[in-house]
Amino acid sequence: MTTPEYAKPPVVDQSTWRAALDELRAREKAATRELDAIAAQRRRLPMVEMPDYVLIGANGPVRLAEVFDGRSQLIVYNHMWTDGATWQCGGCTGFTSQFTRLDFLDLYDARFVIVTNGPIDEALAYKARVGNAMDWYSSSESSFAADVDAPPGEGFAVNVFMRHGDTVYRTWHTNGRGTEQLSHTFPLIDLLPWGRQEEWLDSPEGWPSRPTYSGWLDSPDIAKLYGDDAH
């Protein structure tokens, strides 16, 4: 098979390359400072008290406050779900498969879990099928998902909560491309000269380009790499 010949960045001398890098670095540093300012504003967000939801865990019903497992802070990824499907959302499956080591959150009095609208038995079976490392919970018997902007059949989200005793508060939410800030895959790919190689990108003429999402690993691919049958 012949490898397609794509355009490449121009070749320049060291000083020209360094000058171009320094120009870009100024923008990168400005973006870092802006992200610091955004994080500072996020730390000053007010919060809203949540009802006493009951979710379903591996061992049965569990109050939302108990999902914290004694910690004060909780990150929830609301996973898209279709009841009875062998393979769930590839984007959600690929995104959550990145998080294989979460013990560092213990040092920050925090936990990261998945909540889906699917039945708990299906959810736990899927967790094993794709080798997901997080604990899963089901909101199939409560309005929790709809109340945190991730209703059944309508998408995914990240929600963050704080607990004080048995009272839980919602502190932050994002969805869509807002979830990229939690990812390490896209930041790594964006460092590459050809970037994500998706057709919506602002790339130079001749750069490789393909339909959006077509380069992503789908759920069966994740299962082959990390699922129970992969080992």
Q: Are 66 and 167 in contact (CB under 8 A)?
A: no
Distance CA 132, CA 59 (A): 18
Is the pTM higher than 0.85? The answer reads yes
Q: How many CB atoms lie under 10 A from the CB of residue 61? A: 13
Indicate the pLDDT class of residue 231, thresholds 50, 70 and 90. Answer: low
What is the average per-residue pLDDT within 225-231? 82
What is the average per-residue pLDDT within 140-157? 94
What percentage of the chain reaches a pLDDT higher than 90? 92
Query: CA quadruple 54, 56, 60, 62: dihedral positive or negative?
Result: negative
Q: Are 144 and 168 in contact (CB under 8 A)?
A: no
What is the average per-residue pLDDT within 148-163? 94
pLDDT of residue 114: 98
For the chain, the straight-line distance linking the first and the last C-alpha, in angstroms and rounded, comes to 31
